Structure formats: structure tokens, C-alpha cells
């Protein structure tokens, strides 16, 4: 039975992701590896399409943002300068009964008590003590916890440490991609013919030792970020901050996400250097949660890297010969969270009984497969040959899938479940008229269209 508001929508999405090859739990044949996921054949297409849309919106549709791909490993000094070695932590508590390790701010939030990840250890423990009677362990129900302690989220490695003593100077797996942008700011400035205001965009993996990782791909220990840092003259911060807020909101609408499922969240408890910070939140099946952060960071990052490296990172403005340390407006989104938002937004159940279908109403530009091509019958070589011909014409411009398995109704359902916007069927009439039946995913309407007109049709509609 169809139910779009069903409480177990999340379970249905997780199950669809596994069944249809979008997302698999990591290392499954070895009983899994917590909070890490792999993207399957359709998942990698969807994730790539999201990244392409972001990359184009940053580096192709505008003149003032250039790309970068910096390495995951960087000098450990970078993480000292950025404040991550000392301050990048979440409050951790342990259930004394079942020994689950839990995030204290999340426990408080679930009990309806406001707590913020930016609170000090003392502050959060004080709130914890005042509300102990309201908090239960989500695994065993006990109410006996150790006091909260700050737990650093940076992931250490032993890269390049041949003495075996890596506690002295560990190489970290980067905790965010933007540090690679800050430390390359001068290189880009000197090589890319850019002038302030300009931005540097990067997509790449980041790693965090998340304490509790639930909610599927929403919070994982290995994930991908799409970050852009915009370097500006200090007195222009408000103007560019507002422009970027608007641009980022529009990005999600352009992906086809329903506006009623997006909202702004203003950070009240700012880190000391931040001038302003908003999140764009999405209405996930488990409620409104952060999709992307847009931060006015002042000149904190370049100032820190200048101090720690001893290098001058100021900018000489050719228009008036003034010299200043640029301020930064940051936009920081997660690929996995956007992926989950797109799936949540697109997941629909329609019809009853034999007409029941699960359909992903994903925008054509993000759909993993754009066009499916079917011969009506697989045991008719002339139909198979004609369908292959159609496939071979279209495959150079669009991701197509050839399917000759099962009855046509079943093939439509399979494509609906992965969000394919168009299906083409080659039948006996096709051999005479050089046309196909084109079936639209959302309306399920069918029309006949000449094979010679297909390219024009898809150019217009995809």
C-alpha cells in the first residue's frame, strides 16, 4: 500500500539503497565496519552527478571561483594552526551498564534539553547533572553515565613515521577539506590570474572519529565535502555573505529539492572568530538537520596559518595599493547528506495492489540512468538489434541502460525505483515506422516518437 508519510521512510530508503545498488554497508562480508559506507553502481552515478552539479555551479557558471584538489595528508602543523588538535572535539560519555559510548550533546538534545557542541566541558557537564533524571541510554535504558569528556575527532595515521613513535608528530587524515584551500591560497593567487574577491572550490574526502554514527550516511567517519572559500576585502563581508547564502539556497532548488523541505538555522553560539554562521537544514525522515554550513569566518584562518608558517599571506590590492589579510566566506556541504536529501525528497510510493510502485522522482540531471532502452521481446533478434541501435546512438550523450529481462511492466518498475526519467520500448511497429514508445516516469504517459527526433527531445528535457 502506498504511504508517502510513513514513519519508516528511512528504513525503506536504506533498504532500497541496498537492494538497488545505491549504498552498501562497508566490509559487509566481514560483518561490517561502523559508520563507513560504500556507493554501488547507481549510487556512484548519483553522487557523481551531485558533485558535477556543484562543481559546475562553482567553477563553470561563474568567473570568480577556481578549483583545487589538495592532498588528504598535510603537515601536522596545519591542524595545530587551525585549532583542530586542541579544539575539534565532541563531548563523550559512557553508559556504565552497557558501556556504549555516546555523544552527550545528542543525548541532551533527544531529552529536549538544549546543548551545543561548542559548550565547554564544564558547561555541558553542569547541564548534564541538572537533567540526569531525563536521560536514558538508547541501548539499554540505564541512567548511569560517566561525566562528559572532550573527545578529539581528528583521525591519526602513522604515515611517514618510520620510528614507530607516531604520538610525537602524527600525520592526520584531514578533518575538513578547507584547510588545503587556505594553505594553497597564495599559490592560487600567484598562478590563476584571480583578484579579490575570488573563491577556491574543492571536493574531497574528510575523516572524523565521530562518537555516535547513526542515521545511515548522514553522519559517517569517512565522507566527502564540497567546500568553497571566498576571499574578500574585510569591509565587504556582509555583502558577500548574503550573496552566498542566496546562491547556496538556489543550488538546492536547482537540484529539484522542494523548498518546503529546506530551512535556515542561525547559529547562536558562534566560535569566537566567526562573524556569522547559518546552516541550510533539510527535512530528513528523522527531522530537520544540517545539510550545509555557510560561515563568515573573518580572517581567522589566514591569520593562524600566517602565524604558524611565518609566511606573509596579506594581499596587495592593485586598485588602491592597500594591503590586508583577506576575510573568508565559506560554504561547506556534504556529498552524502545531499545524496540522502535528494533520495528522501524523491522517494514516493504510488498506487494500490498490482499498480503499486516505488518511484524516485529525481530531477533528470541527477538521475543515475537517464534513458532505459527495451526490446519488447528478447527472443526476437530483429527487435533486440533495433533496440541496440537506439542504445548505441544515445549512449554517447546520456547514461543509458539496456534491459531485455522480464515483462515490460516489471522493467518499468525497476527503472522507476532507480529514478530513470525515460524508458523507450522497441516493438514491431518500430521496425516499420522507425519509432519507439517513450514512457515518462512521473506521469507514466506513453507516446510514440521517431528515433530521429530522440536526441532533440532529450536535449530539451534532460
Q: How far apart are CA 99 and CA 431, in angstroms?
A: 68
Residue range at the interface with ligand GAP (CB under 6 A); choices 327-335, 372-380, 422-430, 449-457: 327-335
CB of 246 to ligand GAP, least distance (A): 18
Smallest CA-to-CA distance from 175 within 222, 116, 105, 215 is with 222
Residue whose CB is less far from ligand GAP, 291 or 373: 291
Q: Does 174 help bind ligand GAP (rule: CB under 6 A)?
A: no
CA atoms within a 13 Å half-sphere pointing along the CA-CB vector of 212: 19
What residues have CB less than 8 Å from 243, skipping those under 6 apart? Answer: none
Among 93, 327, 332, 415, binds ligand GAP (CB under 6 A): 332
Q: Does 201 help bind ligand GAP (rule: CB under 6 A)?
A: no
Q: Does 13 help bind ligand GAP (rule: CB under 6 A)?
A: no
Among 219, 233, 305, 411, binds ligand GAP (CB under 6 A): 219
Residue whose CB is less far from ligand GAP, 132 or 214: 214
Smallest CA-to-CA distance from 97 within 139, 58, 152, 43 is with 139
Strand runs (DSSP E) across 72-192, as ranges?
89-94, 101-103, 149-152, 155-157, 171-173
What residues have CB less than 8 Å from 278, skipping those under 6 apart? Answer: 245, 264, 265, 266, 267, 293, 294
Strand runs (DSSP E) across 2-109, as ranges?
23-25, 37-39, 65-68, 89-94, 101-103
Residue whose CB is less far from ligand GAP, 231 or 391: 231
CB of 210 to ligand GAP, least distance (A): 5
CB of 400 to ligand GAP, least distance (A): 31
Let me know: does 173 contact 160? Beta carbons within 8 Å. Answer: no
Residue range at the interface with ligand GAP (CB under 6 A); choices 71-79, 111-119, 126-134, 329-337: 329-337
Cell of 219: 553522519
Q: How far apart are CA 292 and CA 289, in angstroms?
A: 9
Q: Does 371 help bind ligand GAP (rule: CB under 6 A)?
A: no
Residue range at the interface with ligand GAP (CB under 6 A); choices 1-9, 222-230, 245-253, 383-391: 222-230
Q: Does 200 help bind ligand GAP (rule: CB under 6 A)?
A: no
Q: Does 176 help bind ligand GAP (rule: CB under 6 A)?
A: yes
CB of 351 to ligand GAP, least distance (A): 34
Q: Does 435 help bind ligand GAP (rule: CB under 6 A)?
A: no
Residues near ligand GAP, by CB under 6 A: 176, 178, 208, 210, 219-220, 223, 225, 227, 290-293, 330, 332-334, 336-337
Amino acid at each position: 500500500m502506498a504511504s508517502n508519510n510513513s514513519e519508516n521512510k528511512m528504513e525503506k530508503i536504506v533498504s532500497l539503497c541496498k537492494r538497488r545498488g545505491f549504498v552498501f554497508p562497508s566490509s559487509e562480508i566481514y560483518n561490517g565496519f561502523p559508520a563507513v559506507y560504500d556507493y554501488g553502481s547507481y549510487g556512484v552515478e548519483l553522487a557523481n552527478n551531485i558533485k558535477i552539479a556543484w562543481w559546475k555551479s562553482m567553477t563553470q557558471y561563474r568567473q570568480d571561483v577556481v578549483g583545487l584538489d589538495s592532498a588528504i595528508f598535510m603537515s601536522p602543523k596545519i591542524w595545530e594552526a587551525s585549532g583542530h588538535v586542541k579544539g575539534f572535539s565532541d563531548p563523550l560519555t559512557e553508559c556504565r551498564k552497557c558501556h556504549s559510548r555516546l555523544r552527550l550533546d545528542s543525548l541532551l538534545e533527544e531529552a529536549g534539553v538544549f546543548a551545543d557542541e561548542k559548550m565547554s566541558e564544564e558547561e555541558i557537564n553542569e547541564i548534564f547533572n541538572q537533567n540526569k533524571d531525563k536521560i536514558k541510554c538508547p541501548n539499554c535504558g540505564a541512567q548511569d553515565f560517566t561525566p562528559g569528556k572532550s573527545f578529539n575527532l581528528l583521525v591519526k595515521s602513522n604515515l611517514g613515521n618510520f620510528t614507530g613513535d607516531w604520538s610525537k608528530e602524527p600525520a592526520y587524515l584531514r578533518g575538513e577539506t578547507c584547510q588545503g584551500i587556505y594553505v594553497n591560497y597564495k599559490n592560487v593567487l600567484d598562478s590563476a590570474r584571480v583578484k579579490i574577491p575570488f573563491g577556491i572550490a574543492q571536493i574531497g574526502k574528510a575523516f572524523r572519529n565521530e562518537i555516535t554514527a547513526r542515521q545511515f550516511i548522514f553522519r559517517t567517519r569517512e565522507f566527502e565535502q564540497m567546500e568553497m572559500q571566498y576571499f574578500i576585502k574585510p569591509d565587504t563581508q556582509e555583502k558577500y555573505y548574503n550573496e552566498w547564502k542566496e546562491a547556496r539556497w538556489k543550488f538546492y532548488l536547482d537540484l529539484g529539492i522542494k523548498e518546503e523541505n529546506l530551512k535556515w538555522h542561525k547559529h547562536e553560539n558562534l566560535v569566537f572568530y566567526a562573524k556569522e554562521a547559518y546552516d541550510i537544514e533539510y527535512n530528513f525522515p528523522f527531522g530537520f538537520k544540517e545539510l550545509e554550513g555557510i560561515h563568515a569566518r573573518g580572517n581567522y584562518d589566514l591569520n593562524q596559518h600566517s602565524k604558524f608558517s611565518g609566511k606573509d599571506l596579506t594581499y596587495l590590492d592593485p586598485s588602491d595599493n592597500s594591503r590586508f589579510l583577506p576575510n573568508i566566506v565559506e560554504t561547506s556541504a556534504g556529498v552524502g547528506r545531499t545524496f540522502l536529501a535528494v533520495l528522501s525528497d524523491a522517494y514516493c510510493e504510488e498506487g494500490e495492489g498490482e499498480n503499486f510502485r516505488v518511484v524516485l522522482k529525481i530531477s533528470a540531471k541527477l538521475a543515475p540512468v537517464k534513458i532505459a532502452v527495451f526490446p519488447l521481446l528478447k527472443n526476437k533478434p530483429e527487435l533486440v538489434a533495433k533496440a541496440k541501435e537506439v542504445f548505441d546512438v544515445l549512449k554517447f550523450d546520456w547514461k543509458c541502460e539496456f534491459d531485455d529481462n522480464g515483462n515490460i511492466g516489471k522493467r518499468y518498475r525497476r527503472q522507476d525505483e532507480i529514478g530513470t526519467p525515460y524508458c523507450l520500448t522497441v516493438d514491431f511497429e518500430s521496425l516499420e515506422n522507425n519509432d519507439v514508445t517513450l514512457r515518462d516516469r512521473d506521469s507514466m504517459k506513453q507516446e510514440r516518437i521517431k528515433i530521429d527526433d530522440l536526441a532533440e527531445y532529450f536535449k530539451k528535457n534532460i
